[in-house]
């Protein structure tokens, strides 16, 4: 069968499964799955993939579902995280956040776009590949991963470093509005602690206020954010830093505070890393407070949590920047796969937010792309929805990509 005929067949099958794919997403949305509490949805997905005839289905010790199609010599990972953030203020929602309602071409509810929409399209893509008796060069692992919202990429650090699942290429199905993405900024978290000297509030001149130090340090971070520059290619854009939390403590409400803590969210463009970012913070705050940079206490915290399977795991809160060159064979296969389906090239873009690819590509150097249903601005927002049409497009694209990779050798 020619590549044109294969693409036509895939598109026809994806369209035929439209309603079923929407129902798959609806059913997932109805199952609450906050980070480290994904047991019910993971068991649901595993049972679904088994029922649809995937070649192998298993759950790793951290709790992620791994569903395989094919037995080729190369490994392609197609990833969706299936945990979600919480609902926030339910009064801001027009529907039950877990209704999973399908109305007017939309699937409603928390996680419909971030990120169960991608997961639903993956299930249908695997089903299409099985229907077509795929037997090419690729082993495709559809990975439905856990705890991304708490610590993006840790699930893949575990898969690569502990389970030995090292793909040749990877695809994230985070929302891209059906654009082809090839990178995003990295990120890290930092904690700055400042010390003062306490005194009675009636005589603040006797003390050294940690609160005022924190205020000057926060303004120094505002200045640093202004100073940061975009990457040389100007593809990912500029890095950013923001003070996300400030805490000040003292002996009482009537005392000069002697302790302060600033928590920083730092987005890293291409060429920036943790060492550079920490050095910039120390330099700016040191100048603002009249301290030597090396005396500024700025550290990168660790994240540690136990997954629903009972496995504890941890990593530092550092998520490296990544991008894949636009001429890379994986990007070009993505373009070819999309053009085969829709007779036009996809828009090539980047994400604003972070994904599991910080580990797959940023940490471990595995080439990756992204393509997912729904819009980025739906992530973490009330009244989250996803388009059924996007699910159809994505399920077709994931299957078509594999054949495009085969065609490109």
Contact between 156 and 167 under an 8 Å Cβ cutoff? The reply is no
Which residue has 């609902």 as its token pair? Answer: 87
- For the question of residue 83 being annotated catalytic, the response is yes
- H or E element that contains 169: strand 169-172
Q: Residue 103 catalytic?
A: no
Helix (H, G, I), strand (E, B) or coil at 309: coil
Q: What sign does the CA torsion over 363, 74, 402, 58 have?
A: negative
For 257, phi then psi, to 5°, come to -70, 140
Asked if residues 185 and 237 have their Cβ atoms less than 8 Å apart, the reply is yes
Catalytic pick among 60, 79, 114, 148: 148
**Phi and psi, residue 335, nearest 5°:** -60, -45
Residues with Cβ within 8 Å of residue 353, at least 6 apart in sequence: 174, 184, 376, 379
The CA-CA-CA angle for residues 93, 48, 11, to 5°, reads 85
Structure tokens, 367? 């080439």
Print the SS3 string covering 133-158.
Answer: CCCCCEEEEEEEECCCCCCCCHHHHH
What's the burial of 95, exposed, middle or buried (CB within 10 Å: 0-12/13-18/19+)? middle
242's tokens: 């923001």
The residue annotated as part of the active site, out of 60, 83, 258, 384, is 83
**Helices and strands in the chain, H and E counts:** 10, 19
Give the residue ranges of DSSP H helices in 239-312. Answer: 274-289
Strand partners, 102: 107
Contacts of 343 (CB under 8 A, 6+ apart): none
Total Cβ atoms within 10 A of residue 50: 12
Contacts of 283 (CB under 8 A, 6+ apart): 293
Catalytically active residues are 83, 148
């Amino acid at each position: 069968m020619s590549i044109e005929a294969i693409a036509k067949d895939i598109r026809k099958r994806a369209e035929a499964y439209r309603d079923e794919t929407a129902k798959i997403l609806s059913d997932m949305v109805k199952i609450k799955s906050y980070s480290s509490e994904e047991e019910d949805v993971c068991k649901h997905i595993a049972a679904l993939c088994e029922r649809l005839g995937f070649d192998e289905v298993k759950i790793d010790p951290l709790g992620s579902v791994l569903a395989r199609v094919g037995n080729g010599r190369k490994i392609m990972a197609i990833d969706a995280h299936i945990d979600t953030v919480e609902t926030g203020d339910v009064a801001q929602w027009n529907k039950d956040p877990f209704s999973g309602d399908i109305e007017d071409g939309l699937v409603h509810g928390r996680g419909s776009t971030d990120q169960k929409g991608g997961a639903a399209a993956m299930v249908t893509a695997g089903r299409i590949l099985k229907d077509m008796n795929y037997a090419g060069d690729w082993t495709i692992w559809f990975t439905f991963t856990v705890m991304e919202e708490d610590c993006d990429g840790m699930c893949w650090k575990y898969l690569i470093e502990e389970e030995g699942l090292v793909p040749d290429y990877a695809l994230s199905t985070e929302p891209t509005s059906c654009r082809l993405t090839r990178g995003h900024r990295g990120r890290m978290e930092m904690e700055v602690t400042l010390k003062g000297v306490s005194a009675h509030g009636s005589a603040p001149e006797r003390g050294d206020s940690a609160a005022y130090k924190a205020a000057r340090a926060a303004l120094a971070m505002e200045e640093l954010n202004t100073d940061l520059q975009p990457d040389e290619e100007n593809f990912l854009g500029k890095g950013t830093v923001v003070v996300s939390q400030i805490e000040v403590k003292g002996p009482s409400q009537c005392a000069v505070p002697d302790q302060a803590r600033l928590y920083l969210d730092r987005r890293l463009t291409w060429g920036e890393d943790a060492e550079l970012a920490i050095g910039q913070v120390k330099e700016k705050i040191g100048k603002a407070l009249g301290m030597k940079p090396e005396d500024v206490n700025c550290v990168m915290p660790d994240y540690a949590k136990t997954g629903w399977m009972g496995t504890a795991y941890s990593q530092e809160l550092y998520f490296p920047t990544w991008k894949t060159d636009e001429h890379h064979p994986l990007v070009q296969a993505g373009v070819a796969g999309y053009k085969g389906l829709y007779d036009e090239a996809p828009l090539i873009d980047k994400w604003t937010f972070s994904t599991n690819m910080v580990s797959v590509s940023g940490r471990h150097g595995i080439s990756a792309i992204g393509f997912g249903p729904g819009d980025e601005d739906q992530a973490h927002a009330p009244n989250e929805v996803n388009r059924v049409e996007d699910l159809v497009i994505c399920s077709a694209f994931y299957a078509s990509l594999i054949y495009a990779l085969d065609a490109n050798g």
